[in-house]
Amino acid sequence: MTDSTESKKFYVTAGNARTFIRAVLTGNGVPQENATIVADCVVAADLRGVDTHGINRIPSYMARIRQGVLNATGSPELHQITPVVAQVDGHNTFGFLSAHLGMSSAVSMAQTYGIGMVSVKHSNHFGMSAWIVQQALDAGMMCLVFTNSSAALPVWGGREKLMGVSPIACGAPAGRTKPFILDMAPSVAARGKIYKAKLRGERIPVGWALDAEGRPTDDPAAALEGVMLPMGGPKGSALSIMMDVFSGVLSGSAFAGHVTNPYDPSRPADVGHFFVAIKPDLFMDLEEFKERMDYLYQRVVGSERMAGVNRVFFPGEIEQLTQEERTRSGIPYVQAEIEELNKEAELVGAEEIVVSHC
């Protein structure tokens, strides 16, 4: 691979990616069961084309373990508050583990009582929100998935980093059509896209971020020194504050700009999350609900298209189609990403990641 250009893609099967991640994680002290959960969640992001939250995050997670600010060996703990409310204490373990436990608990309560709500405290970055939505969908549930995150956005009218680029996610199952999966950041673009552009030596579109002097920039490094821009001005700003209320203030985790950046290995992140699972057949027969979802899907994708648009997609559909394609063809990475991953393998004596083809 030494004679390859940075733009050349190297394809890795989902199975090989999971095997590699498990080896690196267990080599850093993560129990096998926990490593399997993390690997599945990380690869799910790459399969859906959400490369900013996939395997390229592994080096930053391992750096936090080595610095002692991410608990590699522990597991989150569930506390039942009421029959339909629980709280997870992440104990500074991987956010994937806390989120998995949290949604599992919410689903279990909803199966019995129709709804389940879980607050999570003292957690970490849990990657792509859509995998948690999918966890609920696989159990036949509707859901809400909220989290807060480290300061990256100014509030509307401000100029300093204060709110996080905290994703808003939710989902609902369907019958014969694609399920509804919303997973979006309140910023113009996800911050992870800027990190990815920096790693790949690419520019970013003007309008995504401002540099430290408050000027529009297409330089990802300068953007990371500055601020992200909220989508829709005050609307995106308000949504980021909402995420902080439900995920940070309510849970007892860090909030108001005090969540630690996942790339900052100086102290624990103390992220908060908020999950709700809902039985879709509370007010009607399940089959009727699914038929209504299918009808909504058909109305959306079959709507008249604006000029220049070839197809209208349902929320989450593009990512689901990407997953189908990458499951067949493999997940594409660039050389810099492969090299960074293999450095992590070398540190723990694990095998290099297996590339199926270029």
pLDDT at residue 1, as a whole number: 42
Reference 36, options 19, 57, 14, 55; nearest CA is: 19
pLDDT at residue 3, as a whole number: 43
Q: Which residues of the chain have pLDDT under 70?
A: 1-6
pLDDT at residue 75, as a whole number: 97
What are the tokens at 197? 């552009």
Reference 275, options 104, 82, 144, 164; nearest CA is: 144
Contact 169, 183 (CB under 8 A): yes
Reference 153, options 226, 245, 71, 254; nearest CA is: 226
Contact 191, 173 (CB under 8 A): no
Contact 90, 122 (CB under 8 A): yes
pLDDT at residue 6, as a whole number: 56
Reference 347, options 6, 105, 2, 29; nearest CA is: 29
The CA distance from 246 to 185, in Å, is 15
pLDDT at residue 5, as a whole number: 52
What SS3 state is found at 323? Answer: helix
DSSP bridge pairs for 12: 331
What residue ranges define each of the domains in the chain, with the CATH number in brackets? Answer: 9-187+230-286+322-347 (3.30.1370.60), 188-229 (3.30.60.50)
The CB density around residue 57, as the number of other CB atoms within 10 Å, is 21
What are the tokens at 176? 């014969």
End-to-end CA separation in angstroms for the chain: 9
Reference 166, options 257, 105, 99, 85; nearest CA is: 257
pLDDT tens across 267-321, in order?
999 999 999 999 999 999 999 999 999 999 999 999 999 999 999 999 999 999 9
pLDDT tens across 221-249, in order?
999 888 888 899 899 999 999 999 999 99
The CA distance from 198 to 133, in Å, is 29
Pairing of strands 9-12, 77-82: unpaired
DSSP 307: T
Contact 148, 317 (CB under 8 A): no
